[in-house]
Amino acid sequence: GVLLRSSLILLCTVIGFALAQPLGVGMDFVAMVGATAALLFAGKGVEDAIGKVNWTVILFFMGLFIIIGCVKHTGALKWVAQQVVMVSDNRIELLVPLMGGFSAVASSIVDNIPVAATLIPIVQDVSGGDTGVPAEPLWWTLVICCNLGGNGTPIGSISCVIAIYALKREAGIHVGWGTFLKLGGGIMVVQVIGAILYIMWMHHQGYIPDITATPVLPAH
């Protein structure tokens, strides 16, 4: 009963994420509706559910996001990204590898959300006007490498932090930074190199479809 209800709520939440933009609602709204439904229909009281929350992980993320916000507002990420673009001299064969590498490394240390938010206006500037730089390879490089960067370090993604914490708490197995970097960092490097080579090949073959801009819905 509980498993069936929870699975149904999870499925509806995932569908809600997919339909959020066409429906004109935010991802945060869908997430809150799904969480509220889980609390109401999972078969247990709210107090019991809250009592089982891993507050250590929650407090860790609160501190991490404060640090990330400070790094973003200092402009350090933007300055480094601008230096990467300057080194490439707006050449697509250099822009894609440099931006892909920077996106992945920065995402594995800071978090992919502020990295992507910092690089979006930079990609728009680089690929706009009379630069002659195609936008599609840069957008796909940003999307893919920011996501892959989360595999590089134990704090690169929320799922990594939760998985490592659960592994230590439930099974008593500790995964340190050195161990994680040897495996996770190595996998990230292989994935990022493969992604960059694939994007470059798709671009030179003319297989990357054009990306049309969608209007941004006003906030309600």
Report the candidate in 126, 117, 116, 118 with the shortest Cα–Cα distance to residue 88. 126
Q: What is the mean pLDDT of residues 97-103?
A: 93
Domain match, 114 and 97 both: yes
Query: How many independent structural domains does the chain possess?
Result: 2
Domain match, 113 and 142 both: yes
Residue at token pair 């892959």: 148
Domain match, 19 and 95 both: no
Residue type for position 219:
A
Does residue 217 surpass a pLDDT of 60?
A: no
Tell me the backbone φ, ψ of residue 214, rounded to 5 degrees: -105, 140
Does residue 209 surpass a pLDDT of 80?
A: yes
**144 near 195, Cβ under 8 Å?**
yes
**165 near 54, Cβ under 8 Å?**
yes
Domain match, 16 and 112 both: no
Q: 59 vs 18, which has greater pLDDT?
A: 18
Domain match, 74 and 157 both: yes
Confidence category of residue 189, pLDDT binned at 50, 70, 90: very high
Domain match, 177 and 189 both: yes
Does residue 142 surpass a pLDDT of 70?
A: yes
**194 near 200, Cβ under 8 Å?**
no
Confidence category of residue 199, pLDDT binned at 50, 70, 90: very high
End of a domain among 32, 52, 72?
A: 52
Confidence category of residue 220, pLDDT binned at 50, 70, 90: very low
**Residue 111 to residue 194: CA distance in whole angstroms:** 21
Domain match, 44 and 65 both: no
Domain range enclosing 44: 1-52
